[in-house]
Chain A
Amino acid sequence: MGGFHVRRLSRREFLRVAGLTAGATLLAACAPAPAPAKPAEAPQPAPEQPIKLELWTFVNTHARWFRSMAEDYKKEKNPNFELNVTEIAYSDMHDKAQIALQAGGVGAPDLVDIEQGRFGGFLRGTGDPGLVDLTDWLKEGGYMEKLVASREALYTYQGKTYGVEHALCPVVLYYRADIFEEAGIDVSQIETWDDFISVGKDLVTDDVKLLLFPEHDVLLRSRGADWFDADGNVTLDSELSIETMEWILALRDKHGVADPGPEGNGSKYSTTWYGVLKEGKYLAVMGADWYAGFLKDNVPELSGKWKAIPLPAFEKGGLRTSCHGGTGNCIVKYSKYVDEAWNFMQYSMLSVEGNVRRYEMTNLFPPFIPAMDNPRLRKPEEYFGGQVLGELFAELGPTVPPQYQSPYRAELNSNISALWVDIFQGNIKPADAFKQVADEIRKVMAEEGAV
């Protein structure tokens, strides 16, 4: 009994000592990590050692292009260079990247593609996204004048540019040329949405719709407004915005030519959507340059049957395009190889060859001005019935409207996305839904002292 008592005491003692030791270790672990060394001062490894960079992207077309550029970079510039391109699904990649940056770069890649709709979220709070500020390098290299300024604005905050845009993102209307031509419709006569509806109306049957509901924010930008204004104020519930949404609903309710797609949520990226597209149940879809690549990848069966025209305008003489999406390539400031990453970025994102090849592989029209006139961007496209899409994109390019970045864009997107189905089904009026979300975001902004 006594022996047992002694043993119990020593066990307790042991636990106390163990607890203290573990506690001390934990406390050491909780201490904030030392500030990362400035990227430029990071020691560069000996040249013989292979330099392995990790790049994250969420688009398979981007991944293909990056791999191709990395192969040539290895051949031409640095034989020790290796780029591992990891494709991760859209939401997951952005969530993971944010968390890796918040964790001081633990598990973060060296280079990362960040979509403009999510970029704002990286600026939330401190305004320092954990990415390398490229401003000085872009200025020194003379790249600022070569890049379309309204596109770079998406990745610029408080005068610091953190990313280089992949695409100009001019929006056009893709349509089933085979069916339009068979019906004898001359698309060159289409100038406004009213024109489009009146000529396309006859093609609509019970089973076939003329158009998928166009995305609200994209249409709104073609009318010169957006969900945020240039100063970062929420303008989702502006009169023009509400009217634009009502106009979209009228496409179904008044004209009977469009609907929110097979899943009722307006998605144009799901397998279900591509399925009905293959069956010929929709004859047109609004999309940016990159959507041409999506069509090729996901609906190869309809090769040769599509063509594109400039986006119809709301009024005669109105803007014939908009901008949709965009993705910036960024360097993580915790990377061991910031200089090498910048070199690769110049070789791929900031070169004529890189931009031209990207168009060939992905249909992303370059936001890089020296590449815009390249003859390789003027090749007829088999998928689009021999049409030279590059000509159309180049023609619309200079008129692409700006889009304003906000640290609250990601949360606004997230909140409004839960309401689309209700808006489409008429359960909530556009004015009420937009007011609700706009107020939610204004409240968050006020709480975080952003106003």
Chain B
Amino acid sequence: MGRWQRRLAPYLFISPFFIGYAVFFLYPVAYAFYLSFFKQVGIGSQPSFVGLGNYIKLLHDAKFVKSVFNTTYYAAGSVFVIIPAALALGLAFNTPRLPLREFFRLFFFTPLITSGVVVAIIFGLVFNQPYGLINNYILEPLGLPKLGWLLDPKLVMPSIILLGLWRYTGVNALYFLAGLQNIPPEIQEAAAIDGANRWQVFRYITLPMLRPTLLFVIIIAIIGSYNLFAEPYLLTGAEGGPNNAGLFMTMYLYLNGFRYLKFGYTAAIGYALTIIILILSLVQLRLLGAFRED
């Protein structure tokens, strides 16, 4: 009896987390999968089985395809714009004799601790065509025309990436900084003594040794991009602004689930999102050699 109690005690102590996890995560995840094979629309409605119908419909849904394109656009911006910027910033943070180093680290990190809602509202003002900061204080003094950042479908995604750049560069730079500080300086010094220039040290020593950090940052960025919701929703409206130019997959999911009350279809969108993230993450892991044994 005593032995039993002793054995059970640890499980009891950790059970609150697992019960919460099961009720608020596992159950919805499993139920959504089940629901994705059903059609259910409206308040008080009952599901009716449609098999793969929802998934087939998704492939023919122009708005869904557009939302996949937009979200992928942002994810690409995240990987090819935000991450290189963060890497550059991380290298700068790592410079030993940089004045006010601690201040800069904090300075670039603060955008992340600000609520996404607040950020989106402020950027709405920044991008505003007649009164906005960018048009009036950057473009106009340079004699450039005022751009419709959130009005021109071609500029909507770049605007959202600009917001992402401001918000997420700092935190990614901190990840890189942590990775950089784990590289023993002796190796870089040895390379320098052997005649490698700074670029060669970076390319052949620092970057390969940063691989685990890079892998982590890229996967987190991709997952974060596909899950981004508050910023584009508030910046462009639920429909993603003109011509659905800023419609993210999460927003299309929200529209179908919370506005049109198409619950089964929404569950299918959720699973499509999961499948895309899963495939991209696996591709990433493979490309960056996470499965390689070394």
Residues of A near any B CB (own CB < 8 A)? 7, 10-11, 14, 18, 22, 26, 29-30, 91, 94-95, 98-99, 101-102, 121-130, 262-265, 272, 275-276, 407, 410-411, 414-415, 417-422, 427, 448
Contact = CB atoms under 8 A, between A and B. Distances in A.
Nearest to B150: A263
Nearest to B45: A125
Nearest to A100: B43
14 contacts: A26-B23, A99-B258, A102-B263, A122-B43, A125-B40, A125-B43, A262-B129, A262-B131, A265-B242, A275-B131, A414-B260, A418-B242, A418-B243, A421-B242
A274 B81 CA distance: 36
Nearest to B27: A26
Nearest to A128: B44
Contact of A95 (B22, B128, B259): B259
A415 B239 CA distance: 8
A124 B258 CA distance: 12
Contacts of B129: 262-264
B260 A124 contact: yes
B98 to A, nearest CB: 40
B234 to A, nearest CB: 10
A341 B22 CA distance: 38
Given A99-B258, A126-B44, A22 B22 contact: yes
Nearest to B261: A124
Contacts, number: 113
Contacts of A411: 259-260
A264 B151 contact: yes
B45 A126 contact: yes
B158 interface: no
B217 interface: no
Given A26-B27, A30-B31, A418-B244, A124 B239 contact: no
B91 interface: no
B240 interface: yes
Contacts of B15: 18
Contacts of B40: 125
B151 A263 contact: yes
A396 B244 CA distance: 38
B185 interface: no
A94 B260 CA distance: 11
Q: Main secondary structure on chain A at its contact with chain B?
A: helix
Contact of B258 (A98, A129, A263): A98
B22 A26 contact: yes
A91 B23 contact: no
A264 B148 contact: yes
Q: Which 9 A-B pairs have the closest CB atoms?
A: A125-B42, A421-B242, A124-B42, A125-B45, A125-B41, A418-B239, A95-B258, A262-B130, A126-B44
A237 B81 CA distance: 43
Contact of A414 (B11, B18, B148, B239): B239
Contacts of B18: 18, 22
B237 interface: yes
Nearest to B19: A22
Nearest to A416: B239
Contacts of B247: 418
A14 B11 contact: yes
B150 to A, nearest CB: 8
Given A102-B263, A421-B242, 17 more contacts: A18-B18, A22-B19, A22-B22, A26-B27, A30-B27, A98-B259, A102-B261, A121-B261, A125-B42, A126-B44, A263-B129, A275-B130, A414-B255, A414-B259, A418-B240, A418-B244, A422-B243
Contacts of B45: 125-126
A29 B23 contact: yes
Contacts of B131: 262, 272, 275
A262 to B, nearest CB: 5
A7 B238 contact: no
Contacts of A123: 42
A265 B151 contact: yes
A252 B87 CA distance: 49
A14 B8 contact: yes
B151 A102 contact: no
Interface in B233-291: 237-244, 247, 254-255, 258-261, 263
Nearest to A262: B130
B292 interface: no
Contacts of A14: 7-8, 11
A407 B44 CA distance: 14
Given A26-B22, A272-B130, A272-B131, A130 B259 contact: no
Given A26-B22, A101-B43, A421-B242, A121 B260 contact: yes
B261 A417 contact: no
Given A91-B238, A125-B42, A418-B243, A29 B27 contact: yes
Contact of A272 (B44, B128, B244): B128
